[in-house]
Chains A and B, each alone.
Chain A
């Protein structure tokens, strides 16, 4: 009754009903929309699904399989049915001289790689930048990028041949100076220099590309005004080029530290031998020998899990630091 007298009340009621109704229909309405969406866009999901299934089968399922690091794994019982044994494998590992040695070697080798390997591409890029003859620069670049594309087996083959005691060129040259032939690859003290040196020889040229791109982005006006001020090329390199590419250098350094544990173990497998294990054996080669060659899958998986977790923490820390430093994270 009063409603008729007060039109606003009726309006309110209408609004309430409308709101209720819209609430009632919103739910089914949304379901219809999701259905519509899949009906309309099913092709996109059809394109995505194979990749996702592949990732689940080949990369995520092994993550499930990592539980054998905490189990007494037997092939016959399988991953799920093997009994849990807690941290026993980790206790074994940290009481195992070979594992501790591998851990130490991993850290030392990647540290050498960082100290000697990191500055090289920067130096090479700076030097390339100072070349004025285009043909010379192009030829040199073509050659120094090449080893990056050559397989580790071939590089190892070259190293083994070049350092061989009887036929190798290295010992031939030493012979000219009256130095007796050294069987380098059986000497523990020579393994790390040869391995790290080979890595630099193979990758330093190619890695310079990133820095060359950074140098190409430096504003030419900076150099022009420096030339007007009478600066020498040496001064321009130190005062303009290097400060300008510093952000790139720091980001690359952070990435490098994040990937510290990724020693290229393929190459180590190819170059080491029992005589040099004491300086050459790294965590991944230890895992390969214990697990795949020795059949101690659970223990080796525990070593791998330890490696992966440390690597994950390193990468995440690197990303956080880079985010803070450059405001652009690596991903």
Chain B
């Protein structure tokens, strides 16, 4: 920790070895991303020949031209924004008032309602009943189905409820004296005080929406409605299956590898842009959420 000058020679060796190991681990985490980025900017020929190691070989943006000229790429990108923004707002609209009500001691049956929420964290009916339920509700192949169907999550409610419980009563008393109702107390007292916790929950929602793929793949048949992740998976699966197409690209400026690498880069950029916030709030979030219920 401190006292650098007290280090023995063994300690110095230990510190150096440790730093080297961490540096190696960090580079091994970083490398695949650099590799993909370089691949996306290399010519298809060099990529297929396996000549791309670290930096782009035969620099070209042909793969990006290819990706950006595909209408399905743009529609799926737009859909991902719709699902992410719509889904996150929908989640917050349910979770914030719900968690607030559950945090109030005067709520009748509070223990019971908390159990109703927590039980969904321990037991879920599984893929098939959930799927059949969505179908019975007529929510297949619909934007609304994806946005509403995954709005509430027990973990997020409990995380926020715990945070609300930690806010001292005295904060709301002044507002109550002025005749504020519950909605006003929540809006004017609790929400401003809970910005970090709400930001954490919102970021949890944003990341899971942005990255969500399985249910979008299962519930959406209509190509016009698929999000980016489903499109990316389609491209990878189709191109790798279609040997003929793949070989026809051999000499071309772009190939299966460079095109899929370019889509990967495009879909990672928004995550990188919000990454500073993610890092700040997520570590708090998992520590807050460590104490469930």
Contact = CB atoms under 8 A, between A and B. Distances in A.
Interface of A: 34, 37, 41, 43-45, 47-48, 50-52, 54-55, 57-63, 65-66, 68, 78-79, 124, 127-128, 130-133, 136, 139-140, 142-154, 156-158, 160-162, 164, 166-169, 171-172, 175, 201, 205-206, 209-210, 213, 220, 223, 227, 232-234, 266, 269-270, 284, 287-288, 291-292, 297, 300-301, 304-305, 307-308, 311-312, 315-316, 328, 330-331
Nearest to A136: B19
12 contacts: A44-B101, A47-B100, A50-B98, A68-B132, A79-B132, A145-B279, A146-B29, A160-B240, A223-B1, A234-B10, A292-B127, A301-B128
Contacts of B225: none
B128 A297 contact: yes
B127 A161 contact: no
B211 A151 contact: yes
A144 B11 contact: no
Contacts of A66: 125-126, 129
Given A146-B29, A150-B268, A308-B126, 18 more contacts: A44-B182, A50-B93, A52-B116, A54-B148, A59-B125, A132-B4, A136-B19, A140-B23, A149-B211, A167-B257, A232-B14, A233-B14, A234-B11, A288-B218, A292-B131, A300-B128, A301-B129, A304-B126
Contacts of B35: 158, 162, 169
A51 B287 CA distance: 24
Contact of A157 (B22, B218, B264, B279): B264
Nearest to B267: A154
B36 A158 contact: yes
Given A51-B95, A132-B4, A316 B122 contact: yes
A186 to B, nearest CB: 11
B107 interface: yes
A304 B128 contact: yes
A162 B101 contact: no
B25 interface: yes
Contacts of A151: 210-213, 229, 267
Contact of B106 (A44, A168, A316): A44
Contacts of B211: 149-153
Contacts of A50: 93-94, 97-98
Nearest to A269: B214
A302 B78 CA distance: 38
Contacts of B127: 284, 287-288, 291-292, 300, 304
What are the 5 closest A-B residue pairs judged by CB atoms, nearest first? A304-B126, A51-B98, A151-B211, A331-B293, A47-B97
Interface in B34-54: 35-36, 39, 47-53
B8 interface: yes
A315 B87 CA distance: 29
A45 B107 CA distance: 8
A207 B262 CA distance: 29
Contact of B47 (A59, A130, A167, A308): A167
Nearest to A170: B50
B7 to A, nearest CB: 8
B53 A172 contact: yes
A36 B214 CA distance: 48
A291 B29 CA distance: 36
A269 B29 CA distance: 23
Nearest to B4: A132
Given A65-B133, A152-B211, A233-B15, A270 B233 contact: yes
Given A169-B53, A227-B3, A144 B101 contact: no
B50 A292 contact: no
Contacts of A44: 100-101, 104, 106-107, 182
Contacts, number: 272
Given A167-B48, A301-B128, A266 B213 contact: yes
B28 interface: yes
B48 A166 contact: yes
Interface of A is mostly: helix
Nearest to B241: A273
Interface in B241-274: 255, 257, 260-261, 263-264, 267-268, 271
A54 B137 CA distance: 13
B130 interface: yes
A177 to B, nearest CB: 14
Nearest to B217: A269
Contacts of B124: 59, 62-63, 308
B8 A232 contact: yes
A62 B129 contact: yes
Contacts of A130: 14-15, 18
Nearest to B46: A167
Contact of B97 (A48, A132, A147, A292): A48
Interface stretch (B149-157, B167-175, B191-199): B149-157
A210 B290 contact: yes
A130 B7 CA distance: 13
Contact of B183 (A34, A43, A68, A206): A43
Contacts of B49: 166-167
Contacts of B236: 153, 156-157, 160
Contact of B133 (A58, A149, A210, A213): A58
A161 B261 contact: yes
B287 A63 contact: no
B14 A331 contact: no
Given A130-B15, A150-B268, A234-B14, A301 B126 contact: yes
A162 B213 CA distance: 21
Contacts of B129: 62-63, 65-66, 68, 301, 304
